[in-house]
Structure 1
Amino acid sequence: MKKFLIKLKSKLNWVTVVLVVITFMVAFVVGCRTGAKLAHETIANNQKQDEEYKKAYDEELAKLTDVYETDRIIENIIEDAIAIDYVEFLNDKMKGRTVFTSGEIFSLETHMFKIMTPDSEIYTFSNSSTNTNIKVGDKIKVYGTVSNKKESDICIINALKIENL
């Protein structure tokens, strides 16, 4: 019986060793598969982020291009601007024309402002310009198109460009 127990003990040691080796091999394979899966997910997430960043970059570039194009169009429009004639303006003979004038802002609302020229002429502007950093008392030069709309019997000029003087 003693011999049998010694043989059994030695066989159990080998079985234990084999089981430990198999356990390590399984753990290694599972770990590799998990690592590969995580690596694949990380790559997929990075590609998704790259696509999102590229999309955001393209959108910003398009906005800048649009702003550049808009600025270029406005510059072309105001190249042909003429000095506003107050009498013709009051008689509605300047509607649709691109004009410019200079003066001091004396009234400022959300999307409207009024200026008085050095000759005490008063003009009302609708502010569609990108320059919104204006305040009462500023001396400015304004380019715009004379509108067909009237407010309280006063013709309105749509401001295209505002320059601080």
Structure 2
Amino acid sequence: MLESIALGMLLERDLTGYDIKKLIENGIGVFYKASFGSLYPALKRLTQKGYLTTSEKPQGGRQKIFYHMTEKGREEFFDWLSSPMDIFEGTNTHLAKVYFFDNLEPEIREQKLLEYEINNKNYLSKLKDLEKKFDGMEHKECFYYKLSTLYYGICITQKTIQWCRHIRMQKALPDLIERER
């Protein structure tokens, strides 16, 4: 996923590895972390695959390596960005994609978010079926914390569905947050 994120950061302009790391920290750093130790090998792989080219330019009195996305890299990025969001890939994966959704055509964005919402609804149904099975269990108080993770999954999935619906309709983002009274 780091390779795709790096490509996304390079959509608009050439950057150094340091610049990319800072953009990740300041942009998607809330839900995704990347170290220099993982970023530079990812940039090397992208260059070897022909998705990036490099050039040296002076900056601040030193020669720095800048990365430039090739057309092949753009195609790879947009293939990743428009691929389905699998709920089992983890939150970081789908949030990384959504972060770049401003670069997609509105129809594709809508389709991807709707697919993701439907997948979460199906998953919620499975979680609620599981809840029903546990509901009739004897001595379930002995498994309070194990069962609490099921309820966590239900809560998170319900909120994810709400979030998908909200951003698909492009409602005001601050309305997503429940304010404390």
**Structure with a larger share of its residues in strand:** 1
**Structure with a larger share of its residues in helix:** 2
Structure with higher Rg: it is 1
TM-score, normalising length: structure 1? 0.23
TM-score, normalising length: structure 2? 0.22
